[in-house]
Chain A
């Protein structure tokens, strides 16, 4: 049971480049989400999904796209990287109980530097 895995661990991009951050979980969790964490700051929700084929925006969705074709995978795409997107990105997953999330399990994070 690997839990939540994220790749890559670290990435450097130039302004305007695009890339996809990968996230996978093997716990059959319905709910998955992406957060960004800027240095010394808290977590901000980017996008989330309550099941395969269902995604929605969080607090800071601009510049990011997501899709959820399977229960296990929830990739985050940066369309045209900007220096303001330099951050650490965390993926999380949880069971859903009715319309409530249960305990979230976080991945190890991807550190992104945009030059």
Chain B
């Protein structure tokens, strides 16, 4: 049974790099990993997506090791406005998405 597991919460400080790791068993070649960000009273918002190795965009990086059983979202130089819940999910064939339970990230001054 496919499952996506991530830490419940994390704390960090402004200016630090934050890494959130997600484990996902039973992932096939064409399945992909996506991370979303959610602020209170808003819908989730796409951050980054990847299949393997490393993906970088203007807000984050995504590291996926060769076995693809885990992935790490990296947020460089976080600020107070990065305080949010971050969701890892895996996209499987047959339109299935398995969402993690979310990681509540709190950034302190």
Write the residues of chain A forming the contact surface with B, with a CB cutoff of 8 angstroms: 4, 31, 41-43, 45, 48, 50, 90, 92, 96, 98-101, 103-109
> Among the listed A42, A48, A96, A105, which residue makes an inter-chain contact with B99, where contact means beta carbons less than 8 Å apart?
A42
Knowing A42-B87, A42-B101, A42-B102, the reply to whether A104 touches B95 (Cβ < 8 A) is no
A63 to chain B, nearest CB (A): 21
What would be 18 A-B contacts, judged by CB atoms less than 8 Å apart?
A: A41-B101, A42-B87, A42-B99, A43-B44, A45-B97, A50-B95, A90-B43, A98-B93, A99-B93, A100-B92, A100-B93, A103-B34, A103-B49, A105-B46, A106-B43, A107-B43, A109-B41, A109-B42
B10 to chain A, nearest CB (A): 16
Q: Which B residues touch A43, using CB under 8 A?
A: 44, 87, 99
A43 to chain B, nearest CB (A): 5
For chain B, give the interface size range.
Answer: 20 to 34
Smallest Cβ-Cβ distance to B87: which chain A residue: A42
How far apart are the CA atoms of A48 and B93 in the complex, in Å?
15
| B49:A100 contact, CB within 8 angstroms | no
B39 to chain A, nearest CB (A): 11
Q: What 10 pairs between A and B have smallest CB-CB spacing?
A: A106-B43, A42-B101, A99-B93, A42-B102, A103-B46, A90-B43, A106-B44, A101-B95, A99-B94, A43-B99
| A48:B95 contact, CB within 8 angstroms | yes
How far apart are the CA atoms of A103 and B91 in the complex, in Å?
10
| B101:A109 contact, CB within 8 angstroms | no
